[in-house]
Amino acid sequence: MVFIKRIYQMTENSHTAASRKIIHIDCDCFFAAIEMRDNPELADKAIAVGGNAKTRGVIATCNYAAREFGVHSAMPTAQALKICPELIIVPPRFQEYKNVSKQMHNIFKLYTSIIEPLSLDEAFLDVSDCTQHQGSATLIAKDIRKLISQSLNITASAGIAPNKFIAKIASDWNKPNGQKVITPDQTDAFTKALPINKIFGVGKVTEKKMRKLGIHTCNDLRSYSLFDLDRMFGSFGGRLHQLCRGIDNRPVKTSRQRKSLSVEKTYAQDLTSLEQCIEHIPALLTECLDRIKKLNMPSPIKSIFVVLRFNDFSRTTTERSGLLLTTRNIKNLLEINYRNHQKPVRLIGVGVRFSNQEHNQESVHNQQSLFP
């Protein structure tokens, strides 16, 4: 018990010692915003960027007008058109989204070099040592959003807080085209009232478990000791103990190490036999290998996996560590996965998880031998 108390005190101390200024930037309906910008006729209509309903595509994102109908990311396009018949579907232009993302990073670099990209439209910035605007993170965020809007003609929202956890939640608060500041002395009260599903890492299963226990907010979580949380939620317990108190000491990491890479394809018609699924493996594997080779400094592969999504939209992954990424191994995983479920297949994915080990020349060199 004394030991646990000491850990708690240590984290509390390091939290107060580190008064950082973190900005989380997230563009508003990113792909859709770029499409509306480049085709103003779309601006006052409900639009979505995504795949064709006929080829069973899905929605990547949609504008806020479409969201009012209930359309959202990852929804099958056919379903989106059912709930919003006037929805205009625009095919994605990934190269343009990447260009805009690069330009946005050039704007970030005017303020800090400590930038952690999370996706094309999202990043953490550590502006603790930034001198512009007398170091006011609120004004820096405003400036960045203004520059994005003026030079790129899209809008972004921002969260400003003493750590990444709170900054990310705050950027969603006044979306679209808004920002929210949580100062260090507001952090405790702000976190206390947060519903548990705002905590990164609390997925549907954990949320259900917590709600059954009567835990609905971060404040409810605070009544459990580190020992209890460890017992109830395993290795996530320690992190929960900190996050529910608004403590997050993770630094803004300038170069993110990729954890996994996968290639997925949804087929126009369900694949109804193992043989039909196997036919698609070479193409998926070739694309996956190409993408691994294009990574700047890939880490060694820790495991390989095959994802299947069935015609009832359920999804399963079969994963094995220590295997090479070969056609044979992937076919074996596919077979295990398929035989376990025996349902018509809508989507196949092939991928790898990288080990966390720091990459160096030697590991990159070893990586080559993993390719078939």
Catalytic residue positions, numbered:
122
Count of positions on this chain that bind Mg ion (CB under 5 A): 4
263 touches which of Mg ion, ligand TTP, none (CB within 5 to 8 A by kind)? none
Looking at 1-9, 114-122, 339-347, 359-367, which segment touches ligand TTP (CB under 6 A)? Answer: 114-122
Does 346 bind ligand TTP (CB under 6 A)? Our answer is: no
Q: In this structure, which amino acid lies at residue 107?
A: I
Looking at 3-11, 25-33, 190-198, 230-238, which segment touches ligand TTP (CB under 6 A)? Answer: 25-33
2 touches which of ligand TTP, Mg ion, none (CB within 5 to 8 A by kind)? none
* Minimal distance, residue 108 CB to ligand TTP, in Å: 16
Residues near 174 by Cβ (< 8 Å), separated by ≥ 6?
157, 180
Looking at 5-13, 117-125, 140-148, 330-338, which segment touches ligand TTP (CB under 6 A)? Answer: 117-125
Q: Using CB under 6 A, pick the residue from 35, 116, 121, 126 that binds ligand TTP.
A: 121
In the window 82-121, what residues touch Mg ion (CB under 5 A)? 121
Q: Using CB under 6 A, pick the residue from 61, 77, 163, 206 that binds ligand TTP.
A: 61
In the window 16-75, what residues touch Mg ion (CB under 5 A)? 26-27, 30
Does 71 bind ligand TTP (CB under 6 A)? Our answer is: no
**Interface mask toward ligand TTP for 152-181; x: CB under 6 A:** -----------------------xx-----
Q: Using CB under 6 A as the criterion, which residues of the chain lie in contact with ligand TTP when the complex forms?
A: 26-31, 60-61, 73-74, 119, 121-122, 175-176
Q: Using CB under 5 A as the criterion, which residues of the chain lie in contact with Mg ion when the complex forms?
A: 26-27, 30, 121
